[in-house]
Amino acid sequence: MSDLKIISFGPRPLNFLACNAPIKQLYNLGVEIEENSELDLFEAFHKHDNDSRIPDVVKDMEAELGEGNMKPEVLPKLAQYELTLLDWIEEHRGYRKYVAIAGKCWPAFQTQFGFVPCYVNSRLTGMGIPVSCEVDIYGALSEFIGACVSQDAVTLLDINNSVPADMYEESIKDKFDYTHKDTFMGFHCGNTCSRKLSSCSMKYQMIMARNLPEEVTQGTLEGDIMPGDITFYRLQSTADNKLRAYIAHGEVLPVATKSFGGVGVFAIPEMGRFYRHVLIEGNYPHHGAVAFGHFGKSLYEIFKYIGVPVEEIGYNQPKGVRYPTENPFA
């Protein structure tokens, strides 16, 4: 932790106050935090206009996307943005060996920059520089921890989307040993590294495009997340500066999502109870970090080591084992 610097850009969007980020515990952990405005980033971006390195980055993006290069016209801007972030990291890391970024991606980003940053976020995370969305500082910290443990790319996803009932009936029930409440859609607009997707395409942010011209919402990396084992986890400081965390083993099911963004059908045993008695009761944000593999044992020891009280490390209790606040008569 003492080798990590988190660089953030902009304040959290109004609707994302749950992603609170009291910085006292960051300093207690030895993590340095540098908070910047979007205007600082916007200025730096324009200083990279016509950067001679842009064509080479575009070629690298084209090679990564392959047939999924559906929006070639936006690649030069995305390359310019990637170079802006990489240069910012080198100019601001100081003596810190590692850097993670908590970036702003809406509501003004797309109208001013002219694209969305999701694909660039995915590429940096694939390089070992975790990037969280919506200025989720503890999300970025969680991603960093998972990247260290797994020695692989991680991602950060919304956890508050359910699997449609018809999809469960058609594709999961009687095929996998999970109830409907054990499943959920892990989703974000397009920030998951391409090598963690079954296939990928460059597209646009469909939600934003409902109210904005499509051309300013381009830049998402879309595709179904690759099936396999996952660890779903997060480290968080509460508003009154208490550290808490959760960990759960699960998997991404080999089920087509029929959706958009970077998305997968996730299954965690007893997820419904875990969601109610750990995530909601613990006031956790809607973002969960995902490591690709089962790393609960290591994460649990890390959280203990850095000072999270064991009673504040939540996990998905097996069926028949009650949570402290769970009604025994329910």
Q: What residue type is 14 in one-letter code?
A: L
In a domain, 300, yes or no: yes
Question: In the 8-state DSSP scheme, what is residue 276?
Answer: I
Q: Are strands 32-36 and 4-9 parallel, antiparallel or unpaired?
A: parallel
Q: Give residue 18's pLDDT.
A: 56
What is the model's pTM? 0.94
Question: How far out from the chain centre does Cα 2 lie?
Answer: 22
In a domain, 328, yes or no: no
Tokens, residue 236: 């968080």
The residue range of the domain holding 127 is 4-315
Task: Say how far apart CA 224 and CA 228 lie, in whole Å.
Answer: 12
**Per-residue pLDDT of the chain in tens (330 residues, 90 and over written 9):** 899 999 999 887 666 665 668 889 999 999 999 999 999 999 999 999 999 999 999 999 999 999 999 999 999 999 999 999 999 999 999 999 999 999 988 888 899 999 999 999 999 999 999 999 888 999 999 999 999 999 999 999 999 899 999 999 999 999 999 999 999 999 988 899 999 999 999 998 888 878 888 888 999 999 999 999 999 999 999 888 999 999 999 999 999 999 988 999 999 999 999 999 999 999 998 999 999 999 999 999 999 999 999 999 999 999 999 999 999 888
In a domain, 327, yes or no: no
Task: Say how far apart CA 144 and CA 21 lie, in whole Å.
Answer: 16
In a domain, 299, yes or no: yes
Four-residue CA torsion sign, 144, 185, 262, 11:
negative
Q: What residue type is 329 in one-letter code?
A: F
Q: Give residue 210's pLDDT.
A: 84
Task: Say how far apart CA 254 and CA 64 lie, in whole Å.
Answer: 23
Q: How many domains does the chain have?
A: 1
In a domain, 68, yes or no: yes
Interior/surface letters 14-32, b for 16+ CB within 10 angstroms, e for the rest: eebeebbbebebbeebebb
Question: What CATH number has the domain bearing residue 101?
Answer: 3.40.275.10
CB 186 within 8 A of CB 171: no
In a domain, 11, yes or no: yes
Task: Say how far apart CA 124 and CA 131 lie, in whole Å.
Answer: 7
In a domain, 25, yes or no: yes
Secondary structure (3-state) at 232: strand
DSSP 252-293: E-S-----SSEEEEEE-TTHHHHIIIIIITTT--SEEEEESS
In a domain, 329, yes or no: no
Q: What residue type is 309 in one-letter code?
A: P
Task: Say how far apart CA 36 and CA 187 lie, in whole Å.
Answer: 27
Phi first, then psi, for residue 91 (nearest 5°) are -80, -20
